[in-house]
């Protein structure tokens, strides 16, 4: 189940995959897919199932079919490291898409921009569409609201007794929203929100607006 929010009078939809849809211009934001990470782990001897390689592509297919965006902004770390066999899967996947794609580069994006541009993907360090600007690392700039990724945000919720639950989340404050990692096997980092911050946790295929009073 998705969750609708308004930011600077613009409608956005939060999806349980970790994607964020800007409804008016039909732009889909996706951060930290880390394609190639599963193959990287398997090459290093980690016992990761072969089927896990296709999971990210299945998730991408599902979220694009759900929103049918005109444009997709990857907010950095699309690929985990150097070229491996998942690049060929990505080439085949991107060739079947009708949306326009932009990669806003992150710290893991070390594959040559020329490789992406040959696939028709625009590559840049940031995008601006006032009042919003889009980066990989969280940033602040006067007059803009920032969308980013990088931190793989999560929240820890307190239950009965000493029970607690760690969940990926969209993390929002007055000037920015940090998207959760979209990719499989990416890990997460628990953030500590202030009283005025808003946290949208992802649990059981649902996005939930979490009250700060329930957060450790």
Domain count, the chain: 1
Instruction: Give yes or no for a contact between 81 and 87, defined as CB atoms under 8 angstroms apart.
Output: no
Q: Do the domain assignments include residue 157?
A: no
For 74, 81, 83, 113, 164, the CA distances from 122, given in Å and listed in that order, are 10, 19, 18, 8, 42
CA distance 13 to 100: 19
Distance between CA atoms of residues 77 and 110, nearest Å = 9
The answer to whether 115 and 41 have CB atoms below 8 angstroms apart is no
Q: Average per-residue pLDDT in the chain?
A: 89
Tell me if 61 is assigned to some domain: yes
Write the pLDDT tens digit of every residue in 145-181.
Answer: 999 999 999 998 876 666 778 899 999 999 999 999 9
- The beta strand positions in the chain, using DSSP E, are 3-7, 10-14, 20-22, 27-30, 71-74, 100-104, 122-124, 127-129, 132-134, 145-148, 153-158, 164-172, 176-178, 189-190, 198-203, 206-210
**Domain annotation covers residue 201:** no
Q: What is the pLDDT of residue 192?
A: 85
d(CA 190, CA 208): 17
Contact 129/22 with Cβ under 8 angstroms?
no
The pLDDT, as a whole number, for residue 47 is 47
Q: Is residue 156 part of a domain?
A: no
pLDDT one-digit tens code per residue, 102-122: 999 998 889 999 999 999 999
**pLDDT tens by residue, 40-70:** 555 555 545 566 678 899 999 999 999 999 9
Determine, yes or no, domain membership for 202. Answer: no
Say what percent of the chain tops pLDDT 90: 69
Domain that holds residue 35: 3-150+174-182
Q: What is the mean pLDDT of residues 10-32?
A: 97
Q: How many CB atoms lie within 10 A of CB 51?
A: 9
Between 216 and 123, the higher pLDDT residue: 123
For residue 63, tell me if it sits in a domain. Answer: yes
How high is the pLDDT of residue 172?
A: 96
In a domain, 215, yes or no: no
Residues present in the chain in total: 216
Confidence at 127, pLDDT banded by 50, 70, 90: very high
Q: Of 140, 138, 129, 125, which is closest to residue 170 (Cα–Cα)?
A: 138
CB atoms within 10 A of CB 164: 10
Residue 216 binned pLDDT confidence (cut-offs 50, 70, 90): very low
Is residue 27 a part of any domain in this protein?
yes
For residues 20-44, give the mean pLDDT.
Answer: 82
Q: CA quadruple 207, 211, 212, 216: dihedral positive or negative?
A: negative
pLDDT surpassing 50 at residue 5: yes
- For residue 86, what pLDDT is reported? 87
CATH number, domain at 113?
3.60.21
């Amino acid at each position: 189940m998705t969750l609708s929010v308004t930011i600077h009078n613009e409608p956005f939809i939060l999806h349980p995959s970790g994607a964020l849809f800007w409804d008016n211009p039909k732009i889909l934001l996706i951060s930290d897919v880390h394609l190639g990470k599963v193959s990287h782990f398997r090459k290093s001897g980690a016992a990761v199932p072969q089927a896990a390689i296709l999971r990210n592509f299945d998730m991408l297919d599902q979220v694009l079919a759900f929103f049918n965006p005109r444009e997709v902004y990857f907010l950095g770390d699309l690929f985990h490291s150097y070229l491996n066999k998942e690049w060929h899967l990505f080439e085949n996947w991107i060739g079947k898409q009708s949306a326009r794609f932009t990669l806003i580069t992150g710290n893991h994006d070390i594959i040559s921009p020329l490789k992406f541009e040959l696939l028709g993907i625009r590559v840049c360090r940031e995008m601006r569409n006032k009042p919003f600007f889009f980066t990989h690392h969280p940033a602040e700039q006067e007059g803009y609201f920032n969308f980013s990724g990088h931190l793989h945000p999560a929240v820890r919720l307190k239950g009965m007794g000493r029970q607690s639950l760690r969940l990926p989340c969209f993390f929002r404050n007055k000037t920015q929203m940090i998207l959760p990692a979209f990719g499989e096997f990416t890990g997460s980092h628990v953030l500590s929100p202030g009283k005025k911050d808003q946290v949208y946790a992802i649990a059981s295929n649902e996005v939930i607006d979490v009250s700060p009073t329930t957060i450790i």
